[in-house]
Amino acid sequence: MKDPMHPTPLRVLIIGATSAIAGAVARRYAARGARLALLGRREDALQANAADLRVRGAAEVAIDVLDLLDTERHAEVLERAWDRWGGIDVLLLAHGVLPEQHAAELSVGLTLASFDSNARSVLALLTDLATRFERQGCGVIGVISSPAAQRGRASNYVYGAAKAAVSNFCSGLRHRLFSKGVRVLTILPGFVDTPMTAGFAKGPLWATPELVARDIERALDSKNGTLYTPWFWRPIMTLVIHLPQALFLRSKL
């Protein structure tokens, strides 16, 4: 299966590759015959995904094992991933942990742990990789942030604040890399039915990882800026962001 847009197979690096959304995106690239590098913490889970992607048509699948909290080791592993195929066309950063909000409110440790996994590790990875992309002069960086980043709300501001750091960082990176021919896509998925959200009651606003992955793949192909997926989160969050303070403070959001 050849990708008509890319005569040599696309080089895709996915960080946090065992997350449900990343997994669904990886399958779409595999069906296009891309080369995929999967980076994550657990080797056996990465191997299982790699086998699946090979069957689904990936030209090549490599895995890199890395505990993303271990920022000391980032440079070495990223170097290897980058050099394997002499560069990367598509980067997707997809790892994240949803902390239990009420527990985090009472715990400095949990709050900072959420920052470590959702923000600190992302900023570290992006700092290293952005320079490589800048030197390469082409490619796209997709980062999964969250609509929760758009306005701090009582129900999930610990998670939201970490994601806000990521969104803000990506905005600056996009500005910096625009003139270098590198796009930076901030991805804001709404409610997605994944193992991370297994404990939530599902309603009509929930989307499948497959649907979100389709939006992400399309946006990575051509867009620069912020992607809400599914699309209806853009009007919803516009309302939430602009809700007057007097009303907002009395709401249950």
When the beta carbons of 203 and 244 are compared against other proteins, the nearer one is 203
Q: Is 29 a catalytic residue?
A: no
Query: Is residue 195 involved in binding other proteins (CB under 8 A)?
Result: yes
Q: Give burial (CB, 10 Å; 0-12/13-18/19+) of 106.
A: exposed
User: From the CB of 209, what's the least distance to other proteins, in Å?
Assistant: 10
Contact residue for other proteins among 6, 8, 51, 175 (CB under 8 A): 51
Cross-strand pairs, 186: 143, 226
Of residues 16, 38, 49, 216, which one binds other proteins by CB under 8 A? 49
Identified binder of other proteins from the candidate list 6, 8, 48, 103, rule CB under 8 A: 48
Task: Give the interface segment with other proteins, choosing from 127-135, 144-152, 196-204, 231-239 (CB under 8 A).
Answer: 196-204
Distance CA 83, CA 57 (A): 23
Residue 240 near other proteins by CB under 8 A: no
User: CA 48 to CA 29: how far, in whole Å?
Assistant: 17
User: Is the CB of residue 39 less than 8 Å from the CB of residue 17?
Assistant: yes
Neighbour count for residue 217 (Cβ, 10 Å): 20
Residue 44 or 72 with smaller CB distance to other proteins:
44
- Work out how close the CB of 78 gets to other proteins at its nearest, in angstroms, rounded to a whole number: 25
Q: Which of these is catalytic: 29, 157, 159, 228? A: 159
User: Which burial class, exposed, middle or buried, applies to 81 when counting CB atoms under 10 A from its CB (0-12, 13-18, 19+)?
Assistant: buried
Structure token pair of residue 249: 């403070």
What is the C-alpha to C-alpha distance for residues 108 and 103, in angstroms, rounded to an integer? Answer: 10
Residues between 198 and 237 with contacts to other proteins, criterion CB under 8 A:
198-199, 201
List of residues contacting other proteins (CB under 8 A):
18, 20, 42, 44-45, 48-49, 51-52, 55-57, 195-196, 198-199, 201
Active site residues: 159
